Amino acid sequence: MNEKFHIFSELISEEQLQKIKKGFKFHFSAKDNLCTIDFQTRAGSKILDGYRPPFDATPVKRLRESGGLLIGKTNMDEFGFGSFCMNSSYGVPLNPFDPERSCGGSSGGAAAAVSLINEHVALAVSTGGSISCPACFCGVIGITPTYGRVSRYGLIDYANSLDKVGLICRSASDLEKYLPIIMGPDSHDPTSCCQPVYKPKKPRIKRMCIPSAALEGIDNDIESALEVAIEIIREQLAIDVEEVDMPSLKFALPAYYVLATSEASTNLARYSGMRFGVISDATNEHFNKFFSEIRSELFGKEAKRRILLGTHCRRVGFRDRYYLKALAVRQMIRKEFKKLFCEYDLVMTPTMPFKAPRFSEIEKMKPLEVYKADFLTIPPNLVGLPHISMPCGYPDGIPAGFQLIAPFWEEERLIHFAKLWEEVFSYKFPEGIS
C-alpha cells in the first residue's frame, strides 16, 4: 500500500505489525513533524535526515499511553510549507480517490492514511489549514482544536502562534473517542496550561452563518455541493443557515503569511548542520559559511522562499509595516468572529475552493496562486478558533468538503454537528485495507 501511495515516510513492517498488533487497543499514525523516539522525525526535510528525537511529542505519548500503537510517520510538506503535499523530500503521497491528484497539504499523508486504512486515526498538524485541506481532498474528517487545547511539546515548529495538533479520522465517534485523549494541559507547553476543562455535552446548534466573501472565487461544482448540503442542513437538521458580511476575511491571507513566515524564519534558524539531523563535517570553515552552505544545500525551495519572506518581514523598517500590522489584523478578525458568535452557533465555509487538483495542474500554478488556495482555511487558523472539515459531496467522484468554525474551546459543538451530519449524509471511502 505504501509503495503505491507514498503515505508514510517511515512505517512499521507488515510482519512486525501483525506480530504486535494484538496487545494494542487501536493503531494510529503521526505526522512526521511530531517527535517520536522509535521513528525518525524529519518533518519532510532533508536537513533532518537521520534525526531520532530523544523524546515523544505529548500527543503521541498520550495516545500510546491509552493503548495506541504508532504504526508510522506520515508524509508531509517540508516543515508544513505547502497546500498540495508536493514539497516533501520523502515522496509525494497520492490521493486515494485518484492517484493523479494531490492529497492536499501539508498533512497529505495523514489524510490519505485515514482514507485508505480502516479504523485508523491520524495525528495531524495545522498552521494555516494543513488539517482541513487534506481532509477535504481525501474525503475524511479533520478537526483542528482551539489553539492551546493540545500540547505542542514535541511538535517541530512551523509558526508557534498558529500551530495546532489535531486529528484526522473517519467518523464523529472516533473524534469523541480520541480527541479527549490528546487534549489537556501539559507543563512542557505553557500555551496549553490555561485552557478550560473540556466537558463533552450536547450543545444546541440552531443557527449557522456563511460569510458571503467565502463564496467568492470557488469552483462551480464545490458551490453546488455546498448548496445541496445547506438544503439538507436546513430541512433535515432544522438548522438555520444565513449569509453574512465579514469584511475582514480578505485580510487574513496576507496577515497569515507575514506572521507564519516571520516565526518560521526564526524556527528554522536552528537547522544549521551542527547539532541534530545532518551534521556537516566542514568544521574548518568560518561559521557563517558553514551554516550557509548546509542550509543552501538541504532546505527545499519552498522552505527557502518562506525563510526569505519571513526574514524580510522582521527587518527594521519593515517590521512595523508588515509584522506589527499583521498582529493588528489578527486582532481585528478575532473581534469579527466574536461578533458573529454572539448570534450564530457556528460559522460555515467551503473548505477548499476546488476539488483536489491533478499534479499536472499544480505544476502550472504560481506560488502566489498556491498560497491563495488556502484563503478559506486561514481565517480560523489565524485567530486560533477550533474548526472541522467534513465531506459534503462527491462531484465526479472526488470529495468536496465544508468547514465549520466554533468559538474558542467549544470543540463539542463541532463533534456534535459531525454526529448530526452523519445521520443525514453517508461518507464514501476508496477501497482500502483493514
Which residues are catalytic, by number?
A: 31, 106, 130
> Which position among 114, 135, 155, 168 is part of the footprint of another protein (CB under 8 A)?
155
Three-state DSSP class for residue 125: strand
Cβ distance to another protein smaller for residue 56 or 345? 56
Q: Interface with another protein includes 158 (CB under 8 A)?
A: no
Cell numbers 497546500 correspond to what residue?
A: 83
Task: CB nearer to another protein: give 189 or 412.
Answer: 189
Query: Can residue 34 be called a binding residue for another protein (CB under 8 A)?
Result: yes
Task: Determine, following the binding rule CB under 8 A, whether residue 54 of this chain makes contact with another protein.
Answer: yes
Distance CA 309, CA 241 (A): 39
Angle formed by the axes of helices 325-343 and 252-267, nearest 10°? 130
| CA 56/CA 193 separation, integer angstroms | 19
Residue 127 burial by Cβ neighbours in a 10 Å radius (0-12, 13-18, 19+): buried
Alpha carbon 259 to its chain's center? 17
Of residues 380 through 409, those in contact with another protein by CB under 8 A are none
Considering only the stretches 11-19, 204-212, 275-283, 352-360, report the one whose residues sit in contact with another protein under the rule CB under 8 A. 275-283
Report the nearest approach of another protein to the CB of residue 155 (Å): 6
Round the CA-based radius of gyration of the chain to a whole number and report it.
20
C-alpha grid cell, residue 313: 518581514
Shortest reach from residue 319's CB to another protein, in Å: 7
Count the site residues for another protein by CB under 8 A: 45
Alpha helices in 277-377 (DSSP H): 287-298, 301-314, 325-343, 359-363, 367-372
Task: Identify which of residues 269 and 328 has a Cβ nearer to another protein in the complex.
Answer: 269
Q: Does residue 174 touch another protein according to CB under 8 A?
A: no
Using CB under 8 A, which of 21, 206, 250, 315 touches another protein? 315
> Binders of another protein among 230-269, rule CB under 8 A?
262-263, 265-266, 269
CB 333 within 8 A of CB 379: yes
Q: Is 188 in the site for another protein (CB under 8 A)?
A: yes
Among all chains, which residue has been given the C-alpha cell 461544482? 221
Subset of 283-312 contacting another protein (CB under 8 A): 283, 287-288, 291, 311
Q: What is 131-189 written as a DSSP string?
A: THHHHHHTTSEEEEPPTTTB--TTB--S-TTT-EEEEEES-HHHHHHHHHHHBS-BTTB
- Binding another protein by CB under 8 A: which of 46, 319, 325, 372? 319
Given the complex with another protein, which of 77 and 189 has the nearer CB atom?
Answer: 189
* Nearest distance, CB of residue 388 and another protein, angstroms: 24
Q: Among residue numbers 320 through 359, which ones bind another protein (CB under 8 A)? A: 323, 327
Residues 199, 200, 202, 206, CA torsion sign: positive
421 sits near another protein (criterion: CB under 8 A): no
187 binds another protein (CB under 8 A): yes
Name which of 260, 268, 222, 273 is nearest 371 in CA terms: 260
Per CB under 8 A, 61 contacts another protein = no
Q: Give the phi and the psi of residue 358 in degrees, each rounded to 5.
A: -75, 150
For the CB of residue 189, give the shortest distance to another protein in the complex, in Å. Answer: 6
To another protein, the closest distance from the beta carbon of 291 in angstroms equals 5
Our measurement of the distance from residue 323's CA atom to the centroid of its chain's CA atoms, rounded to an integer in Å, reads 23
Q: Which residues bind another protein (CB under 8 A)?
A: 34-35, 41, 43, 48, 51, 53-55, 57, 152-157, 159-161, 187-191, 262-263, 265-266, 269-270, 272, 274-276, 283, 287-288, 291, 311, 314-316, 319, 323, 327
